[in-house]
Chain A
Amino acid sequence: MTIGIVSYGAYVPRYRIKIEEIARLWGDDAEALKNGLMVYEKSVPDVDEDAATIAVEAARYAIARSGVDPSRIGAVYTGSESHPYAVKPTSTIVAQAISATPEMTAADFEFACKAGTAAVQACMGLVGSGMIDLGMAIGADVSQGAPSDALEYTAAAGGVACLIGRKESELAAIIEDTYSFTTDTPDFWRREGMPYPEHGGRFTGEPGYFKHVTNGAKGLLKKLGTKPEDYDYAVFHQPNGKFPTKAAKMLGFTKAQITPGLVVPKIGNTYSGSCLMGIAATLDQAKPGDRIFATAFGSGAGSDSFSITVTDRIEEIRNLAPTVSELIKDPIYIDYAKYARHKGKIRLA
């Protein structure tokens, strides 16, 4: 059975803080950070935005782009590491806000930065088995980095929703196959009730990101019998610009293949939205027949790889909702004081 992406929608808050501004506060070398991370600014949520509001906006754009009746959606799964409630689903809020309730199932996913793609795989299973007609899979985050921690330079906000279905005439992109690579690797975590995550510093690189991304990507290429040159585009989880660029090179993908989806330099790491944001930005410019290779990574650790082929339908739906480049143009730059206010780092009496 053919399964694929019926529609997609992205959302990025308008506010940005530049690396220079964060470095100014902590006395760090901004140029060294920008060159090292390949990130120049990051998105910041408004004071009244969180993972739920971002998920709703992304899901509404996905509905607008597809034009489908939301009551056909049989599952809403939201992946995030910043769900606003510890107990109470984000996905019920989203489902209600897109008028998909009540004949449907919903649950929240959590797997660091790959919770969104885990939701995509779950929807693929339900759609493929015929249990549901359409599934809405979302990755959305307002990620946290502790003040002065290295994460503070990249932890950003944004989200992407993918509407997964099986009716061939509705598919904007076919997901040919998916493959996951998972181990218990403690490279990054946040304990219950703690405001900021902890990470293993450089331990997050080789045993975390690169091991899982490269093995996950190689696994799917082997499963399908494809090579990097068979693809027009590639997207790898983008915690910064350096990691996906290096991973692409290690696997034999070119800079030209990853450039359209590499949005991290302008918006930072949107965590559960990160890889999906790259896929959305690529779908925004891909032509019918183009093939996209994508690998998401989540600390803890695991990777989900996808092989995607774009269909003719993409041309009909692409401009029915804002593209990623439209969403990230015209940002409002804020200083660290406003950033602290937006992120709730200032406690009011």
Chain B
Amino acid sequence: MSSVPRFWRNLGSRYNLEGTRCKECGEYFYPPRNVCVNCRRMGELESFKFKGTGEIVSYTLIHTPAEGFENQTPYTLAIIKLDEGPRLTSQVIGDPEKIQIGTRVKSVFRKLGEDGEHGMIYYGTKFVPADT
């Protein structure tokens, strides 16, 4: 993460899981889309805030971290299916032993990363098992 404007443009979806929903076909999109993939120009998209609950579709446990995540190993990256339908990739916080395919999760607000000690701190959504 090194582009402050790029991150700032996506604050709504990063902080509050804001996506879009097509009024025509009812499909939900995260991250937000400007055009419905089903209805094309006949569709009408509206802003939609996801509840933040869902379940793990698949996951992997990272032991060799990306730059900036050295202090968090081992950590879980998962594909999460939100209850409204869209899937997204996110870190899942918690004991890796308790994270499985099908585990119910809920969103939390955490630090996503930072540009060293001098740069910006990036905040946003991660997930934790729903029973925590």
A99-B16, A344-B71, A348-B70 known; A48 vs B11 contact (CB < 8 Å): no
A57 touches B121 (CB 8 A): no
Contact: B15 with A96, CB < 8 Å? yes
Once A and B bind, how many residue pairs between them come within 8 Å at the CB atom? 46
Give B96-123 interface residues, CB cut-off 8 Å to A: 108-112, 121, 123
B64 at the interface (CB under 8 A from A): no
Q: Per a CB cutoff under 8 Å, which of B11, B95, B109 touches A53?
A: B109
Q: Which residues of B contact A344 (CB under 8 A)?
A: 71
Collect the chain A residues with CB atoms within 8 Å of residue B70's CB: 348
Please give, as numbers and ranges, the residues of chain B lying within 8 Å of A332 by CB-CB distance.
Answer: 95
User: What A residues does B111 contact at CB under 8 A?
Assistant: 48-50, 53
Interface size bracket, B side: 10 to 19
**B3 proximal to A (CB < 8 A):** no
In addition to A56-B109, A97-B109, 13 A-B residue pairs with Cβ atoms within 8 Å of each other are A46-B93, A46-B110, A47-B72, A48-B72, A48-B112, A56-B123, A57-B108, A85-B121, A96-B11, A96-B15, A97-B15, A341-B71, A344-B71
Q: Which residues of B contact A346 (CB under 8 A)?
A: 71
B interface, CB within 8 angstroms of A: 11, 15-16, 49, 70-72, 93, 95, 108-112, 121, 123, 126, 132
* Chain A stretch 82-127: residues in CB contact (< 8 A) with chain B: 84-85, 93, 96-97, 99
Give A contacts to B, CB under 8 Å: 14, 46-50, 52-53, 56-57, 60, 84-85, 93, 96-97, 99, 330, 332, 341, 344, 346, 348
Residues of B within 8 A of A47 (CB): 71-72
B49 proximity list for chain A (CB < 8 A):
99
Determine the chain B residues whose CB is within 8 A of the CB of A330 once the complex forms. 132
Q: Which residue of B lies closest to A344 (CB)?
A: B71
Grouping DSSP codes into helix (H, G, I), strand (E, B) and loop, the A interface class, with mixed when no group exceeds half, is loop
* CB atoms of B11 and A57 under 8 A apart: no
Nearest CB of chain B from residue A340's CB, rounded to whole Å: 11
A93 to B124 CA separation, bound complex (whole angstroms): 10
Closest chain B CB from A287 CB (angstroms): 30
The smallest C-beta distance from B76 to any residue of chain A, in angstroms, reads 13
Residue of B nearest to A330 (CB): B132
Once bound together, how far apart are the Cα atoms of A63 and B82, in whole Å? Answer: 22
Q: Which A residues are CB-close (under 8 A) to B132? A: 14, 330
Q: A49-B110, A57-B109 are in contact. Are A84 and B121 (CB under 8 A)?
A: yes
